[in-house]
Chain A
Amino acid sequence: MELIFDCSRPGRRGSSIPKLRLPAASAVPENLRRKVPAELPELSQLDVVRHFTRLSQLNYGVDGNFYPLGSCTMKYNPKFHEEIARMPGFAELHPLLPQLRRGGALTQGALAVVYGVQTLLSELTGFAEATTQPMAGAHGELTGVMMIAAYFRHRGESARKVMLIPDAAHGTNPASASMAGFQIRVVATDGDGNVDLEDLRKKLGDDVAGLMLTCPNTLGLFDWHVREVCEMVHAAGGLCYCDGANFNAIIGRLRPGDLGFDVMHVNLHKTFATPHGGGGPGSGPVAVKEFLRPFLPISRVVKRADGTFYLAYDFPESIGYIAPFYGNFSVLLKAYAYMLTLGREGFIRVGENAVLNANYIQAHLRDVLDLKYDRLCMHECVLSAKRLVAKGIHALDLSKGMIDEKIHPPTMYFPMIVPEALMIEPTETESRETLDQFIAALRKVVAMADTAPEQLHAAPVSTPVSRLDETQAARKPDLSA
C-alpha cells in the first residue's frame, strides 16, 4: 500500500482549528525559529480516514480471528471498556491536578479507580498492596526487582547481587534484572518441566538476591515443587519474584502470595482483558507482601477513614518514581471494569476454562506433534514440530501455513528449551467450535508436510505480502521515509 507521504498533495487540509482572534505573536527569538516546516503530508480528512481504514484491514485482531498466541493471552476485550475510557471525566483529567492544593478533591473518582485496582489485585494475587505505576509487564518486572534491590540495600545486604532465572524464562526477566543492577545466574529445568531442584540448590548462595519464576511456568506447566522452590530460596536468604505473565491459568484458583512468592507483577493486557493495541500500551501492576510495602513506588493512593482518597509521598524507603504519575490510567479503567463485571464467580470460571481449552487442544494435537513434557498443561500447551524437520518443515512453515488458514499462528520458537516450539494459548473466551476449527486447520497444515511441503514453504500466499526478506531489512536498514 502507498505510504501516507505518497498520498500528499500540496494545499490539502485534514483538520480545522479555531480561527486566531488575537494578534499573531511569538516570544521565540528569530534565531530559534524553525525556518522550514516539517515535511508532514497534506491530505483531506477522507484521504486520512481511507488510508488508516485500509491499513487496519491488513491486520489480524482478536475481533476478527482466533489469535492463539502463546503467553500473550489474547482474550476478548469487552467493548464497553472503550466507552468508559472515553468518558470526559477520565479522558480530560490532567494528571497534575491532584498535586494542586485542594486538588485531591477534584480527582476522587480517578483515585478511587486506582485504589480499586490496587485492592482487587491484591486480593486476587494474595498480597498486601499493589502499585499500578508500571506501564507494561517488563516494566513491572523492573519495578519488582528494584524493590528487591532496595530491600537488600536497606538491610545492609548489598552483596546479594545475583538473580536466579530459569532457562525457560522470558527474555525480559534477565533484561529487567540487569537494569536493576543484578547479575544473572541461570537455573535448569528438569525432565518434567519443573525447576531442577538439584541445580537450584547448587546455584543458591549468600550472593543470591532472589529467583524470578513465571507461575505457571513458560512451558505452560504448573511447577509441582513451587512451594519447595520458594522455601529453598527463602532459606538461602533470597526473595521470590513471580512473573505473572501466565496468571490467567490460576486466577480464581490459586494466589501466588499463598504459594510463597514475595512480589509479583500481573499483565492487565493479558489476564484482565485490556486490549494489546498492536504491541501496547500495556500495564504491569506489581503486588507485594507486607514487608515490602515500604519500598513501593510513590505516589501511593491511600484511603482515609472517611472513605476519601489522597496521594501519599512520604515513604523514605520507596524506590521512587517508576512512572510520571499513576501508571497507564485508561488501561486501569478497563481492567477495573473487567474486575467489577466478573466478580468472584466470574474469576473462578476464568482459570478453569482457560486450562480446559488449552488441554482440549493439546489432547487433539499430541498425536501429530511432539509433547516434550507429557502431562496436563495449564492455560497453554507447548508442542514441538521437531519430527517434521527431517521433511524440511519447521515451526516457521507451519505458522505461515496457518496464516493461509486465516488463523493467527501460535507463538513459535519459545521457550527456547523446546526445539521447534509452537506455544498455543486459546484463552477461556474461545468456544469449542473455534478450538475444533483450529485443531482441524493445524492438523491439515501438519499433514501438508507430507503432501505439499512446497506449498508450506511458499506460505502465506493469501496475504498482501508473502514472506519478507528480513536479512535485507537488517543488513541495509530502511527505517523511515
Chain B
Amino acid sequence: MPYIANTDADRSEMLRAIGCFSFDQMWEKCGVTEARPHFNLPSGLSEYEVICHFRKLAAANAVHLVNFMGGGYYDHLIPAAVGELAGRSEFYTAYTPYQAEASQGTLQAIFEYQSMICRLTQMEVSNASLYDGGSALFEAMMMAVRVTKRRKAVVSGAVSPIYRKMLEDYSRNLDVELVTIPAGADGGSDPAAVAAAIDDDTAAMLVQYPNFFGHVEEWSSAIETAQSHGALAVASCYPIALAALKTPGEMGFDVVTGEGQSLGISLSFGGPYLGFMAVREKLMRKMPGRLVGRTVDRMGRTGFVLTLQTREQHIRREAATSNICSNENLCALSALIYLSLMGKNGLVEVAQMCQSNAVFCRDELLKISGVEAVGPGAFFNEFVVRLPMDAAEVAGRMIDKGYAAGFPLGRYYHGRENELLIALTEKRTREEIKGFVNAMEAALWN
C-alpha cells in the first residue's frame, strides 16, 4: 500500500486540472520521455505481513546474551517515559525548526539539551548535536584546524580505534596530518608523551576520557602544554562517567565531544546515536552544527530560534564550518528527557552503580587462575583483563554460555590478543556478575 489518498476518480479530475489526459502525457510534459524500466522488486505486502517478517528477522538476532560489552557503546537502563515522550508524533513528524513560531517545542527542547550538556561537561556552549561520537571528534579536529590555521593533530592511541579510523579516513582528502602517540602496554594514554609531541605547528590534541581501555587519567598538564603552543585541547567523553569524574571543563579542555548513546538511546545495532560537542565561549562562532538561542518576540515574550546561522552551509556554502544540515534531534531530545528523569541525584546513583559493579566484577575475575590485571586500575566502569589464552576464542565460548563477554582487543591491537575489554552498567545484577565470572572460569579451564 503506498499510503495514497486520492482515488482514480480524483486523479482523473486532477490530471484534467493540470491540462493532461493521462499520466503518460504528464510525464512527457515534464520532460520525462524514457520508457519506464522494469523494476525487479517484490510485490507489496500488508502491514501484518511486514510485521511478521520483521518478527522473524528480530528473532534471528541474539538478544538473550547478558551484556558485558561496551567499547564506547553501553547497555544502560532507559526509563519507558523516554520513548513515550520522544515518540510523540508532534516531535518526530516535525522537521527542522525553520519556522520558529511554529516550532517552539523543538527549539526549547534543543535549548534545554544544550544547557544540560554544558552542565554535564562544565563547558560554556553546546551545539544541537552531531551524528555520533566519531564524526563529532572529526568536526572538533577540523574546527581546530580552521581556528589555528595549522594542519597537525596529535592523537592519543588510546582514543577509540573506531574513532581514529574515522579521523584518518575522513582526512584523506584534506591537508591534515595525524600524529598518533601509541598507547602504553598497560593501555594508558601516556599524557606526557602526548604533550611532548605538541609543538607550535599543532592544531589540536585529541584524547579520550576515560580512554578506550577504560583508564581515567589526569590531562591538566598536557592541556596546559597544548594551550601554551596555541593548540586546542579536545576530549571525547563518556557522558555517564561525567557524573562521577572531574569534569573536562574543570580539567581545562577547549572542546568536549562524545558519544551520547548512553543517555537514554538504545543500542539499535549502531544507530542512530548522538554526537555531542561543547566548547569555550571564544569558539562559539567557529563551531559546526546547529545552535539554538533564546531571544524575545515582539511582545517581549521569551522564545527560541536557530541562531548564528552564518556559520552554516545554507548561507556560507563551501566556506561553511561543516556540511552538516541536520542534527540527531530526536536522539538529543531523548538524552534531554533521560537527564531530566534521572535528575541531579539519579545520574550520580547510576554512575555509582556502574563503578561498584565494575570493581566487584574485576576483583572476582582476577581471582580466576591465569586472569591478570592490565593497567593501574584507575577506571570508571570499563577495564581490561589479560586471559591465559586468545580472548576472541574466549568471547566465542562465552557466547555459547549466554554472555557477550566483552570486546577482544586483538581485533584492533596487535599484541593484545589475550586481552578482553569488559564494561559494566547499572543493569547488571550481583547474580549476573557472579554467573559471568563462573562462566569465564569454566570457559578458560574446563
Contact = CB atoms under 8 A, between A and B. Distances in A.
Interface in A43-74: 43, 45, 48-49, 51-53, 55-64, 67, 69, 72, 74
A210 interface: no
B115 A337 contact: no
B130 to A, nearest CB: 9
Contacts of B344: 37-42
Interface stretch (B184-192, B200-208, B224-232, B354-362): B354-362
B147 interface: no
A346 B44 contact: yes
A172 B42 contact: no
Most buried by B among A13, A32, A184: A32
Given A18-B353, A138-B326, A171-B314, A432 B109 contact: no
Contact of B88 (A12, A53, A67): A53
B50 A321 contact: no
A41 B340 contact: yes
A300 interface: no
B85 A53 contact: yes
Given A403-B99, A460-B101, A481-B112, A376 B26 contact: yes
B353 to A, nearest CB: 5
Contacts of A196: none
A431 B295 contact: no
B214 to A, nearest CB: 9
Contacts, number: 699
A281 B353 CA distance: 31
A472 to B, nearest CB: 5
Interface stretch (A102-110, A234-242, A446-454): A102-110
A382 to B, nearest CB: 14
B414 interface: no
B81 interface: yes
Given A32-B216, A108-B60, A468-B297, A135 B131 contact: yes
B244 A277 contact: no
A329 interface: yes
Given A13-B343, A281-B330, A353-B11, A276 B356 contact: no
Interface string B266-300: 11111111000000000010000011111111110
B388 interface: no
Nearest to A402: B99
Contact of B323 (A51, A63, A67, A138): A138
A296 B319 CA distance: 27
A100 B395 contact: yes
A32 B245 contact: yes
Contacts of A101: 392-393, 395-396, 408
A256 to B, nearest CB: 11
Interface residues of A, number: 203
Interface string A229-251: 00000000000000000000010
Interface stretch (A80-88, A197-205, A285-293): A80-88
Contacts of B92: 61, 77, 275-278
B341 A353 contact: no
Interface in B125-181: 125-126, 128-129, 131-135, 142, 162-163, 165-166, 168-170, 172-175
Nearest to A46: B81
Contacts of A478: 293-295
Contacts of A39: 119, 344
A360 interface: yes
B103 interface: yes
B93 A430 contact: no
A350 interface: yes
A77 B301 CA distance: 34
B58 A90 contact: yes
Nearest to A78: B3
Contacts of A155: none
A90 B343 contact: no
Contacts of B112: 3-5, 481
Nearest to A67: B95
A204 to B, nearest CB: 19
Most buried by B among A27, A97, A364: A27
B240 to A, nearest CB: 11
A40 B295 contact: no
Contacts of A348: 36, 39
A463 interface: yes
Contacts of B173: 146, 149, 180-182
B30 A349 contact: no
B69 interface: yes
Nearest to B331: A281
A142 interface: yes
Contacts of B356: 20, 22-26
A468 B295 contact: yes
A394 interface: no
Interface residues of B, number: 210
B91 to A, nearest CB: 5
Most buried by B among A40, A60, A80, A360: A40
Interface in B347-399: 347-350, 352-353, 355-360, 362, 377-380, 383, 392-393, 395-396, 399
B91 A171 contact: no
A432 B67 CA distance: 51
Contacts of B199: none
A109 B102 contact: no
A250 B315 CA distance: 28
Given A43-B340, A181-B173, A281-B328, A21 B429 contact: yes
A282 B242 CA distance: 28
B395 A38 contact: no
Contact of B307 (A56, A109, A175, A474): A474
Contacts of A437: none
B182 interface: no
B343 A1 contact: no
Interface in A336-361: 337, 339-350, 352-353, 355-357, 359-360
Contacts of B163: 324
Contacts of B98: 69, 411
Contacts of A48: 81, 85, 337, 340-341
A345 B340 contact: no
Nearest to B411: A99
A340 B50 contact: yes
Nearest to A255: B37
A465 B303 contact: yes
Contacts of A250: 32
A253 B36 contact: yes
A320 B169 contact: yes
B439 interface: no
Nearest to A23: B356
Interface in B299-319: 299, 301-305, 307-310, 312-319
Given A34-B243, A340-B45, A91 B34 contact: no
B101 A222 contact: no
A1 to B, nearest CB: 6
B172 to A, nearest CB: 7
A204 B4 CA distance: 43
B91 A278 contact: yes
Contacts of A414: 314
Given A12-B343, A329-B270, 19 more contacts: A18-B353, A27-B362, A27-B383, A33-B245, A38-B122, A41-B340, A64-B90, A72-B96, A108-B61, A110-B57, A123-B39, A174-B313, A175-B320, A279-B327, A281-B271, A329-B271, A429-B4, A432-B10, A481-B111
22 contacts: A21-B429, A27-B378, A33-B245, A38-B243, A76-B3, A77-B89, A90-B58, A149-B172, A171-B312, A277-B94, A277-B328, A278-B103, A278-B109, A280-B329, A324-B133, A325-B269, A340-B50, A343-B41, A349-B4, A468-B295, A473-B307, A481-B112
5 shortest A-B CB distances, which residue pairs?
Answer: A89-B58, A343-B44, A325-B270, A320-B169, A181-B173
